[in-house]
Amino acid sequence: MTVSRRNFLRGAAAGCTAATAAVVAPAPAEARGNKELPPEAVGLLFDATMCVGCKACVVACKEANGLPIQVPMERAYEDPSQALSPTSFNIIKMYKEGEAKTKDVEQDGFSFIKRSCMHCVDPGCVSACPVQAMTKDAKTGVVSYNADACIGCRYCVMACPFGIPKFDYDKAVPEIHKCQLCNHLWKEGRFSACADVCPTGATIFGPVPKLLAEAKRRQAMTPGEVAKFPRRSTETGDQTKEKPAAKYVDHIYGEKEGGGTQMLMLSGVPFDKLGLPKLPERSYASMSETVQHTLYDGLVAPAVVLGGLLAATYRSSRKKGGSEEDSHE
């Protein structure tokens, strides 16, 4: 009794067809929408027009999280090797074009951009994690990582459209590393170190609705209009000295990208030039979960596959031998 590859494939095809016809597939799962912003969501507002590239935020992040400081750092934003890593949760990169004479303009200009976890409203990393090692706080919305629960599958790495979670291959028991908004400092009455030390107010911490309101206030200003800007946090009352308002691109990055993020950004240079991806307003998590629920609702997909395998085996086993060509495949 010979079960050849050809017979198996023939039987599998027929079996899948039969199993599909035999199983009454339920109606496709209703597509879920994007998740809503948590009630006490906090985050960051980064204004690239106010960033001078000093990287004080990079150093503060490393100190707050016990990470090694790479030396020298004075030109780190121009070094392609300086990127997010298991030992760098926050970095400042530089955009340059042409002669790079004027700050915050696209042509012959330059700008800086902050890269760290965006703390998505509907995060793909949380949706993809099979063991809840990645979680989103129901109140604050901070996306956190639990090393004790992690199985090292790295689905979160693949699911993040911003390329944020980094896998540490250098440890005996590898882990994922990313920004968690310094939530370990909150019990001390502190907040994100990057915002706390920023000397210009380019990065500020606060409730997301207030950050969004501040971003819209800045965009509504006439370029050159003198105004005051909060520093450190929307809740501390700290303000920088008065300065002219910048000319912003007509977009608040993170307001709608991928279902929204709790890190919002303003810039005088288009965000795609700064290396940020163009994303749909619908979150990838909502799209992938809709497909998964449709396939597995009622165990239709597993039933079809199992039925095909059983039918293939049965058909092949009834054939006694087969052609010489089949038996030698």
Do 88 and 103 reside in the same domain of the chain? yes
Residue type, 61: C
24 in a structural domain:
no
**DSSP-derived pairing of the beta strands 176-177 and 166-167:** antiparallel
Question: Is residue 184 located within the same domain as residue 292?
Answer: no
User: What sign results for the dihedral spanned by CA atoms 127, 136, 77, 109?
Assistant: positive
Residue 231 falls inside a structural domain: yes
Residues 200 and 288 in one domain: no
Q: What is the tally of structural domains in the chain?
A: 2
- Residue 306 structural domain: 284-320
Q: Give 250's pLDDT tier (boundaries 50, 70, 90).
A: very high
pLDDT at 16 over 70: no
| pLDDT(190) > 90 | yes
For residue 217, report the phi and psi dihedrals to the nearest 5 degrees: -60, -45
Same-domain pairing of 62 and 101: yes
pTM (whole model) above 0.95: no
Q: Is residue 309 situated within a structural domain?
A: yes
The rounded distance, in Å, linking the Cα atoms of 57 and 49 is 16
Say yes or no to pLDDT of 207 above 50.
yes
Q: Are 195 and 117 in contact (CB under 8 A)?
A: no
User: Taking residues 180-208, what's their average pLDDT?
Assistant: 96
Mean of pLDDT values over 263-285: 95
Whether residues 278 and 289 share a domain: the answer is no
Say if residue 324's pLDDT is above 50.
no
The pLDDT tens digits of the residues spanning 78-130 come to 554 468 999 999 999 999 999 999 999 999 999 999 999 999 999 999 999 99
Q: Where are the alpha helices (DSSP H) in the chain?
A: 5-22, 56-64, 124-128, 155-159, 193-197, 208-220, 284-296, 300-318, 324-327
* Residue 229 covered by a domain: yes
